[in-house]
Amino acid sequence: MIPGVRKAVASASPYTPGKTVEEVRRELGLERIIKLGSNENPWGPFPAARTAMVDEISRLNMYPDVSFRELKELIAGQFGLKPDWVALSHGAEGMLQTLGKVFLDPEDEVVLSRGTYGLYREISLVMGAVLREFALLDNYSVDIAGMEKSITEKTKLIWLNNPNNPTGLILPPKRIEEFIRNLPEGTWTILDEAYGEFALKGSLPDTGTLLEEGRNLVVVRTFSKAWGLAGARIGYALARPELVRVIDTVSEPFNANRMAIAGACASLREDGEAFRSALKFIVSERGRVSDVLRGMGLKILGSSTNFIFFTLPVDAEDVSRELLKRGIIVRPCGGWGFPRSIRVSVGTSEENTLFLETLAEILSEEKGENV
């Protein structure tokens, strides 16, 4: 341990992202690489966003408008809220980090699920919180009933990822609404809806109503996934105005860059048709890829995201390694506690087909070796 570093920091583990194209090219020297491991949108950035970001380059010598007024107005309009209910950040991760600083004191209790986005755990540990973790149920659903029963007077935060990463599953919206309405006065839910745009209409809780009722809720979303701006790093939270003011106080100054703001604004103003077209394609391809995987005899979970979680009869790390050797990046789920499962992003039709064909070859080879 480095002298002077807080013990809580030393106990945390670094976030491990999926492999990048550049990393694989350096390691394996491959020319053709398909990245299906980080749940990016292959159709982004959309046309208006791309143009707006290029135009913004000449203004990068200046700080952005610290009020972020235009983008906050556009985001708020999507949810029937006013701009002062919106806080911005460098990606959803930046907002999650800020919320940890806003809410958590040492020894506060945090309730969360295992088999979900790992950053919740690390943020909580760094802040010195006490973790109360719950395994997923046998059907891979989040154990919201168990989480609810575990809440005590010391419980400060509940981290909830819906749709869940890496499983892609959602909880019934009315169950989440009931859960949030029954929270004690000093307990807050951080509802991470990073993949919310991919879920069917009506399948997510009515967060706008919950917020307007004054419930202890913060909703976190991002432009990284459905809007195709992962590299721009722009996320946001929806919360009561008095809490937004606290979030903005704790956040770093100018916590969104000019190009990201320009791209996000243009996306919401002008890219609606391209956005809806991409979403329709991704949902269609998600169904096609799921059907083919199911036809291979693999167990598939019904996804409400732009990725598919499936289980193999063999070790997922081995299969992922073989896919990587052939230029296809996927995400083995051993780190989440699922050693025989893989999470694969929905790519273009050509990318998805190549992935399916290559996976079938590898599984056939594995089967032949075990005869």
End position of a domain, from candidates 270, 293, 328: 270
333 found inside a domain: yes
Q: Which two tokens stand for residue 346?
A: 């929905």
pLDDT at 370: 58
């480095």: which residue's tokens? 2
| CB within 8 Å of 269: residues ≥ 6 apart | 48, 74
> Is residue 328 over pLDDT 70?
yes
pLDDT category of residue 71 using cuts at 50, 70 and 90: very high
How many residues can be counted in the chain? 371
> Is residue 293 over pLDDT 50?
yes
* Percentage of residues in the chain having pLDDT higher than 70: 99
> Is residue 371 over pLDDT 50?
no
* Pair (124, 67) in one structural domain: yes
> Beta partners for 158?
111, 189
Task: Give the tens place of pLDDT for each residue, 199-213.
Answer: 999 999 999 999 999
* Pair (174, 318) in one structural domain: no
pLDDT at 226: 97
Q: Which two tokens stand for residue 141?
A: 């659903």
Indicate the helix (H) or strand (E) that contains 216: none
Task: Give the tens place of pLDDT for each residue, 82-100.
Answer: 999 999 999 999 999 999 9
What radius of gyration do the chain's Cα atoms show? Answer: 21
DSSP state letter for 182: T
CA distance 40 to 344: 11
Number of domains comprising the chain:
2
Task: Give the tens place of pLDDT for each residue, 11-20.
Answer: 778 877 888 9
Q: Which two tokens stand for residue 110?
A: 């945090």
- The mean pLDDT of 105-113, rounded to a whole number, is 96
pLDDT category of residue 369 using cuts at 50, 70 and 90: low
Task: Give the tens place of pLDDT for each residue, 18-66.
Answer: 889 999 999 999 989 999 999 999 999 999 999 999 999 999 999 998 7
pLDDT at 45: 97
Q: Are strands 217-222 and 188-192 parallel, antiparallel or unpaired?
A: parallel
pLDDT at 195: 98
* Pair (201, 301) in one structural domain: no
How many CB atoms sit inside 10 A of residue 291's CB? 10
CB 177, CB 210: distance < 8 Å: yes
> Is residue 230 over pLDDT 50?
yes
> Is residue 5 over pLDDT 90?
no
* Pair (228, 363) in one structural domain: no
CB 73, CB 83: distance < 8 Å: yes
- pTM of the entire structure? 0.95
> Is residue 274 over pLDDT 80?
yes
CATH code of residue 27: 3.90.1150.10
Average pLDDT for the chain: 95
* Pair (70, 216) in one structural domain: yes
**Which phi and psi (to 5°) does residue 132 adopt?**
-120, 100
Indicate the helix (H) or strand (E) that contains 88: strand 86-89
Q: Measuring CA to CA, which residue among 263, 257, 223, 224 is closest to residue 55?
A: 263
> Is residue 239 over pLDDT 90?
yes
Task: Give the tens place of pLDDT for each residue, 338-366.
Answer: 999 999 999 999 999 999 999 999 999 87
pLDDT at 248: 94
Task: Give the tens place of pLDDT for each residue, 314-324.
Answer: 999 999 999 99
2 found inside a domain: no
End position of a domain, from candidates 270, 285, 318: 270
79 found inside a domain: yes
* Pair (20, 83) in one structural domain: no
Long-range pairs for 20-29: beta carbons < 8 A, 24 or more residues apart: 21/329, 24/324, 24/327, 24/329, 28/324, 28/325, 28/327
């556009």: which residue's tokens? 74
* Pair (259, 306) in one structural domain: no
Domain range for residue 178? 47-270
* Pair (258, 362) in one structural domain: no
pLDDT at 10: 78
